[in-house]
Amino acid sequence: MGYPLQGIKVLDLSRVLAGPFAGRMLSDMGADVVKLEPPEGDVTRLWGRKIGGVAGYYHQQNAGKRNISIDLRKEEGVSIAKALASQADVLIENFRPDVMGRLGLSYETLSALNPRLIMLSISGFGANNPDSRRAAYAPVVHAEIGLLARQALISQAFPADIALSVADTNASLHGLVGLLAALYAREQSGHGDHIDLAMVDATVVTNDGMNYALDRVNHIVSNEVYETAAGLLMLAGDFKYVWHQLSTVCGLEDGLPVGEETPLEAKIAARRAAAQYFFNTVCQSREAVITALDKMNIAWGDVRPASDIGELASVQARGTITEVDDRAGGTRPIPQSPYRFRRYQAKVRGGAPHLGEHNREILGDWLSWSEADIDKAHAVLMTGKR
Residues marked active site are found at 168
Q: Are strands 50-51 and 54-55 parallel, antiparallel or unpaired?
A: antiparallel
Q: Tell me phi and psi for residue 135, to 5 degrees.
A: -70, 135
Instruction: Identify the bridge partners of residue 234 per DSSP, sorted by sequence position.
Output: 225, 301
Q: Which helix (H) or strand (E) covers residue 201, if one does?
A: helix 199-206
Closest CA to 122 of 83, 170, 166: 170
User: By three-state DSSP, how is residue 181 classified?
Assistant: helix
- Pairing of β 118-123 and β 193-198: parallel
Per DSSP, helices labelled H in 69-165 are 75-87, 99-102, 107-113, 138-144, 147-155
Q: How far apart are CA 84 and CA 78, in angstroms?
A: 10
Say how far apart CA 53 and CA 37 lie, in whole Å.
Answer: 16
Q: Determine the residue type at 32.
A: D
Q: What DSSP string runs through 291-351? A: HHHHHTT--EEE---GGGGGGSHHHHHHT-EEEEE-SSSSEEEEEPP----SSS-----SP
Q: Are 167 and 99 in contact (CB under 8 A)?
A: no
- What is the per-residue DSSP string for 349-381? -SPPPPTTTTHHHHHHHTT---HHHHHHHHHHH
Q: Are 356 and 382 in contact (CB under 8 A)?
A: yes
Q: In this structure, what are the phi and psi dihedrals at residue 183, rounded to the nearest 5 degrees? A: -65, -40
The three-class DSSP label of residue 193 is: strand
3-class state of residue 3 by DSSP: coil
Cα–Cα dist 68/377, whole Å: 12
